[in-house]
Amino acid sequence: AVAARAGRDVTLYARDADHAARIAAARENPRLPGIPLADSIAVTADLAQAAGADAMLIVVPAQHLRGAVMHLAPLLAHGTPLVACAKGIEHGTHKFMTEVIAEAAPQVRAAILSGPSFADDVARGLPTAVTLAAPDEALAAALVQALGSATFRPYHSTDVRGVEIGGAAKNVLAIAAGIVAGRNLGASALAALTTRGFAELVRLGRAFGARGETLTGLSGLGDLILSCAGPQSRNFAAGLALGRGEPLPAGKLAEGQYTAPVLVELATSRGVEMPVAQAVAAILSGALTIDAAIETLMMRPFKAEE
């Protein structure tokens, strides 16, 4: 929808032919009910047709990115920009999204799009600003020109890792924020949790050489603020359910669930302390109860604020 609004010729690919046919007939994606698909958007289940594009946005969940790109790789021309929109880190390999793309389709140019942007808001044409990063600044700037419009404002960057870390970490921290809300711990606790969560995100980013302005920018602090603000975030909603002792919302992808253990492994391997992320991973795995996790966080030794 964004690319069509920016004046591009767009093909939307769905892996399931019936699903693609239903979207084409209804001119609406059931995942975004009530938002009509622009007339100009072609819908296909033919991957080769989609792969002929000048650039592609790939929007499958993080743990399925490698499989999807491997499927796509034989169809892609050398140098095609492939923009990852998933926010996560691959299990087992600890790879970030652009690294997964580079391994699965070495001939393409990988980029990452991230930042505070609920799909529903973006598709409705509400004002949104995001970060689009690629190692090659000219490519990042060209993709911004191709996708930007009066309602969608991407900023270009070459800090790929900084953008990827912000997007992956904020989902885990949003689960923690939801837990705080679900347990009725109060607005002060929510502010403290979000702020100390941000300190973790920054520590991990620094360990990977991320730039300060990326971590305090749209894809870092910006997305953390959005996702820790309320249940429109599926990660926050998952945390809310956990905090209330309810089952996790069915059929709603909460990437932080999958990112939490791998984020903790990655941080540990770099000697970076991420106590909030650790608490989320421990709660999700059943290693700690929520009450024990809260106590563990509050009883850490007092220290200088950093």
Ligand X SMILES: NC(=O)C1=CN([C@@H]2O[C@H](COP(=O)(O)OP(=O)(O)OC[C@H]3O[C@@H](n4cnc5c(N)ncnc54)[C@H](OP(=O)(O)O)[C@@H]3O)[C@@H](O)[C@H]2O)C=CC1
Is 170 noted as a catalytic residue in this protein? yes
User: Considering only residues 29, 80, 214, 227, which one is a binding residue for ligand 13P as defined by CB under 6 A?
Assistant: 227
* Helix and strand element counts for the chain (H, E): 15, 7
Check binding of 117 to ligand X (CB under 6 A). Answer: yes
Binding residues for ligand X, rule CB under 6 A, total 21
Which DSSP symbol is given to 28?
B
* Measured distance CA(162)–CA(160) in Å, rounded: 6
Check binding of 234 to ligand 13P (CB under 6 A). Answer: yes
Q: Which partner, ligand 13P, ligand X, none, binds residue 180 by CB below 5 to 8 Å per kind?
A: none
Of these residues, 170, 203, 220, 239, which one is catalytic?
A: 170
Q: Is 95 annotated as a binding residue?
A: no
Check binding of 232 to ligand X (CB under 6 A). Answer: no
Binding residues for ligand 13P, rule CB under 6 A, total 13
Residues 233-252, one symbol each (x = binds ligand X by CB under 6 A, - = not), give --------------------
Residues 21-60, one symbol each (x = binds ligand X by CB under 6 A, - = not), give ----------x---------------------------xx
Shortest gap between Cβ of 15 and ligand X (angstroms)? 5
Q: Which two tokens stand for residue 161?
A: 């890792």
Check binding of 63 to ligand 13P (CB under 6 A). Answer: no
Three-state SS at 215: helix
Check binding of 87 to ligand X (CB under 6 A). Answer: yes
Active-site annotation, residues: 170
- Contact residues for ligand X, defined by CB under 6 A: 14-16, 19, 31, 59-62, 64, 67-68, 85-88, 117-119, 253, 255
- Contact residues for ligand 13P, defined by CB under 6 A: 87, 116-118, 171, 174, 223, 226-227, 233-235, 255
